[in-house]
Every structure is written in structure tokens, then in C-alpha cells.
Structure 1
Amino acid sequence: MSAPFDPAFEAHLARGVTTVCHAWAITRTDGQVFAFTDHDRELIFAGITFRADTGMSALALQQTTGLSVDNTEALGALSDASLREDEIEQGRFDRAEVLGWLVNWADPAQHWLNFRGTIGELTRAQGGFRAELRGLTEELNRPLGRSYQKPCTAVLGDGDCRFDLSREGYFTDLPVAEVRDARRFVWKDFPSFDFEWFLRGRLEVMEGSAAGLWGEIKTDTIEDGARVIELWEPMRGGITPGTQVRLVAGCDKRKESCRLKFNNFDNFQGFPDLPGEDWLLAVPTSSKANTGGSLR
């Protein structure tokens, strides 16, 4: 997606001999903004200061008409002053918004927004990074519409579910007692919660370098008298004993759990009485009733 040309900038480009460079602004989902330019001096426009000492550069921007996906790549060096390796490892730049400009560095007020999109795949190699930049039309590749299935299609606590996860008894805050392989969290002294209460729930990090990150809970078991919470994937960010975390109750999407565990059946988004394949393939018969049960 690109913006209309500023007439003054268009006149500058028409001269043939130009003073232009590129500038990018990355806005993470947590609101932090990082801005860079491939010019040798910092630039200031649109209320943003674009740094020049980051080693950022970009490949050619491929833009098309119609609904084809615009894409490009950005390259850069990793440093504590710009994009840090640990923050990339933690996934903090996933789905970050990216704005790209063509700028007259002699008069930064003359600039043209020629790219708007998000960060796709972000990889690290040899002290640098390579970021795939995806245009706005990338969202059109996302399947839309509602799925009709027996289990609930809502995410616990979202706008469809509408369950208040801050209700007492559905979360607990506690410090990490023991962590193994960044994915198994063990407590010998654990609050009184039912077995598997947190299965399919979330573990959220409340403080430290990994604050704001979360992981989905794979199992909630008791081993040798200790409560063990295991995640599907290792937690990025280096969580150590004593780090404060929050455990949020999980939902298995069944109507029984929605009604009995959460008392939220009015907002159940599944179709528990949806006929199965046997009913759909049933043929007329005079020997027995077609009740929707198994044909066998």
C-alpha cells in the first residue's frame, strides 16, 4: 500500500538528480516503536526520529496492482541499541506493523509512504537479522467465516466467549519454584486447584526480561506430590526461579465444561447436536427408524 505523492517531492524526483533515501518505522504489538534509515545521518519527520547507525537496509520492494501480495525484505545488524537478539528470540517483533518511506534527506518534510504491512518470518544469522515484510493484502490469504463444529470455536475470554478470566478461582499468581528445559514448571507447594484445572490454559510471565510473554499449557499433572505444568513449547526469555507468573484456567471446548466449569453456556459457540457423518449418509429404510444414530 502506498500514499499519494507530495507535489513538492514529485517535483524533486522529476529533476533527475535527487537526494533520497529510505526510512522504516516498526511498531510492535506492545506499542514500542523502532525507526531506522539507510542514510548516513538521522532523520526526523512524522514525529519520529529515524536512526542511521543500525546497519538497516532493504531489498527491492515488489508492489503489484490488484490483490497480489506486496512483499520485500529488510536486513540489519543486531545491537543492544536497536533490535536486540533476545527480543527477536522472544517473538516480540512477530506481527509488528511496518511503515516504509522514500525520503528527501535534504528536506525530510518531503517523504512518500510507499509500504505498509507487517513483519512475517524473522530469522537471525551471523550477528544480523533478515525480516520478511508482508503487505496489507497478505491478510486476504487468511481464511474467514465461521466453522460449524461440535466443540466451541471461541477462545476462552474473547469477545465471543465473554467469560471474565479475572474472576476469582480462574487464575493464580505465584513465583516460579522450579523450571526444567524452559517448559516444565514444578511446584511442591501449590494452591488448591482441581487436577487438570489449568490444562489447555495459559502461563503468563508477569515480570523480568520475558514479561508479557505467555505459553499454552499442554499438561497439568501431579508427580511425586508436586504440581507440574508443562507447556507445548519452551518459554523464550530465560525464566528463572522466583519469577512471578500467572496461571489461567483452560477450556477443552466441550459443552459440559462450559456449563459446569465456567457457568457460561449462554455464550457457547459450538453446535453439540450437529449430526454426524452416519446421519448425512443415511438412506431411507423400512426396517428401522432413521434416528440419527449409528447405521451399524
Structure 2
Amino acid sequence: MSRMWFAHDLETVATFWRILRRDGVTLGFTTHDRDLWLDGVLHRASPGMVPSSIRKSADFEPDSAEVRGSITHEAIASDDLASGRFDGAQVRIGLVDWESGEREVLYAGTVGTVTEEDGAFSAELVSRKAELWRDPIPRTSPACRAAFCGPGCNLNPQAFTRQVHLASADPLANAVTFAGVPEAALHAGGTVRWLDGPQAGVVMGVMGPDAAGGLVLDVPIDEAIPAGTPALLREGCDRTLGTCATRFGNAVNFRGEPYLPGNDMLTRYPGPNP
């Protein structure tokens, strides 16, 4: 049986929240006046961060919660929020008895929309119940619906991923050039994961090649990133059947309907025979 919280006038209870970012970094915070170790994670005292009321329901409606705070703690910086380090991060919010260590998670979800204004941030949290609203039935599409090297595609990501080193960066064009990369066009739609430097752990999408043969990224690069910074570069796919069959030999796993008539079929008008 779970504990009945706030059953007495005076209790040794504090709020804690834990952020598990997609780059592997885990951050913990608490409203207590000193740091607490919970589940092997140091939760730092951060009274400036305040979780709003948590609404939980027994139906399928997603639970709602929000976290507000000032960008003063060293673990949460404005540059990290702008670069997307917290996008899609998992969040756990709960109560802890800072004397006995007894704790209970009240809310589990992911970070949604993050806004910043006047040195403060506000993060909307999306509960796990929101996954129940997703339509599990795939819709038809001429292009492949599977993520490259992901479920459904079934290609081995290691075969199309290589470790490279930064040769040069152009912050104005938001493009980078890596040493030893054969064809930049093959990496359109791929990813770059930085292994070191000011943006270590950040995954960026490759939008395509630029005129100089570099790769244009979808996330702003740090101007201070030095040459020689290592990264994991993965090739991309344009999600067409021709590419899947000729370049990857993977047409059997193509998740699309390229020959299915589309809505334009309704607007066609028969013409006279030549």
C-alpha cells in the first residue's frame, strides 16, 4: 500500500523531478534545501524550478503538467534549450521524504514545447497516455514510412555509420565538412551525432549538400566547434522505391505504395485517343 502523503500538518516532504535527455545525460532537481541522492542520481537543490499542478485522470485523456523555472542552474542553459538538447527528453516528477528516502513518482512523460522569455523557461510536459491517441494503423504513402535503419526498414545501422572528423565548419551556412566523406549527396536525410566538443551528444539531421560539398544541418552549430572534432555520420535515404531497391537492395522491406493511385486520380479527365 502506497503512503498517504500530506496526512499531517508537518511532514519532511519535497518535490523532485528527473530529466533523462536523449543524449544520455540525466539531470535531477529537488525543492529541498540540499542535494539528494535518489536511485543513483544526484538531485540538486533548485528552488527556482517549480512544477505546476499535475492533473491525472482515469480515462484516456492525456494528463497535463508543466514546469517553470529560471535559467540560472548550470545544468540548464539557454544554449542547451535552443540547440534542442531537452527536446523529447523523458521526465519523472514525484514526492520524496528527505528523511526516510521514501518516494513516489506522480507523473511520467516527455518534454514537449519549451519557451524562453526574460531569462526564464517554461516546458510543457506530454504524458505517456498521449501515446494512446496515436493511430496504430499506417496510412498509405508513395514514400517509405519506415525510419532509415529503424523498425520495418531492418537494415543494419552499423553498415551505414562511420566515425569522421570535422574538417571545417561554416556557421553562416550552417554547414560542415568532414574529412574522407566520399559523396555528400548520399548523406541527405542522414544524421550527425557529435562525440566531443561543445555540442557533444547532440544529434543533428542532414538536410543535404551545399555548393561546396559540405553538409547542411538542421540544428545551429556552435561557432566555437574546433576542427578535428569527432562525430558519427550516418547515411540518409530519400525513401523512394528506386533507391531502396538499387542502392540498398532492400525493396522487400519497402514500407510504401508507390503505384497506388492518389487523389489526383479524381481530377483526371479522359482525352481523345491520338
User: What is the Cα deviation at residue 186 of structure 1?
Assistant: 4.9
SS at match of 1:257: helix
Distance in 1 (alpha carbons) for counterparts of 2:16 and 2:208: 46
Q: Which residue of 2 aligns with 1:59?
A: 52
Q: Which of 170, 173, 176 is equivalent to 1:185?
A: 176
Q: Which residue of 2 aligns with 1:211?
A: 200
SS at match of 1:51: strand
Figure out how many residues of one structure are paired with residues of the other and give that number.
Answer: 271
SS at match of 1:86: helix
Contact 1:278 1:294 in 2 (8 A): no
Amino acid aligned to 2:126: R
SS at match of 1:138: helix
Amino acid aligned to 1:158: G
Question: 1:234–1:295: structure 2 CA closer, same or farther, 3 Å change rule?
Answer: farther
Question: 1:219–1:100: structure 2 CA closer, same or farther, 3 Å change rule?
Answer: closer
Deviates more, 1:44-53 or 1:32-41: 44-53
User: What is the Cα deviation at residue 50 of structure 1?
Assistant: 2.6
Deviates more, 1:233-242 or 1:175-184: 233-242
Greater C-alpha Rg? 1
Contact 1:89 1:236 in 2 (8 A): no
User: What is the Cα deviation at residue 236 of structure 1?
Assistant: 5.7
Please give the residue correspondences for 1:34-113 in structure 2 after superposition, counting only pairs within 5 Å.
34-53=27-46, 55-79=48-72, 81-109=74-102, 111-113=103-105
Distance in 2 (alpha carbons) for counterparts of 1:186 and 1:44: 43
Distance in 1 (alpha carbons) for counterparts of 2:223 and 2:120: 19
Amino acid aligned to 1:127: G
Distance in 1 (alpha carbons) for counterparts of 2:263 and 2:126: 40
- The ranges of structure 1 where at least 4 consecutive aligned residues each deviate by more than 6 angstroms after the TM superposition are none
Deviates more, 1:116-125 or 1:149-158: 116-125
Amino acid aligned to 1:34: L
Distance in 2 (alpha carbons) for counterparts of 1:236 and 1:295: 56
Distance in 2 (alpha carbons) for counterparts of 1:173 and 1:295: 55
Amino acid aligned to 2:89: A
Amino acid aligned to 2:86: F
Question: 1:278–1:77: structure 2 CA closer, same or farther, 3 Å change rule?
Answer: closer
User: What is the Cα deviation at residue 171 of structure 1?
Assistant: 5.2
SS at match of 1:40: coil
String of CA shifts for 1:162-208, please: whole Å, max 9, x gaps. 2234337x757242323132622357x86443x73223333332321
User: What is the Cα deviation at residue 277 of structure 1?
Assistant: 4.2
SS at match of 1:149: coil
Question: 1:50–1:101: structure 2 CA closer, same or farther, 3 Å change rule?
Answer: same
Q: Which of 2, 5, 21 is equivalent to 2:2?
A: 5
User: What is the Cα deviation at residue 235 of structure 1?
Assistant: 3.4
Q: Which residue of 2 aligns with 1:127?
A: 119
User: What is the Cα deviation at residue 242 of structure 1?
Assistant: 3.4
TM-score where L is the length of structure 1: 0.77
SS at match of 2:242: helix
Q: Which of 13, 20, 31 is equivalent to 1:27?
A: 20
The alignment-based identity, stated in percent, is: 27
Q: Which residue of 1 aligns with 2:221?
A: 235
SS at match of 1:72: strand
Q: Which residue of 2 aligns with 1:262?
A: 248
Distance in 1 (alpha carbons) for counterparts of 2:114 and 2:126: 11
Q: Which of 141, 148, 171 is equivalent to 1:149?
A: 141
Contact 1:76 1:128 in 2 (8 A): yes
Question: 1:202–1:48: structure 2 CA closer, same or farther, 3 Å change rule?
Answer: closer
Distance in 2 (alpha carbons) for counterparts of 1:275 and 1:44: 59
SS at match of 1:99: strand
Q: Which residue of 2 aligns with 1:199?
A: 188
Amino acid aligned to 2:68: L
Amino acid aligned to 1:5: S
User: What is the Cα deviation at residue 47 of structure 1?
Assistant: 4.2
TM-score where L is the length of structure 2: 0.82
User: What is the Cα deviation at residue 220 of structure 1?
Assistant: 1.9
The CA RMSD measured in Å over matched residues stands at: 3.1
Amino acid aligned to 1:159: P
Question: 1:171–1:256: structure 2 CA closer, same or farther, 3 Å change rule?
Answer: farther
Question: 1:158–1:76: structure 2 CA closer, same or farther, 3 Å change rule?
Answer: same
Distance in 1 (alpha carbons) for counterparts of 2:180 and 2:7: 70
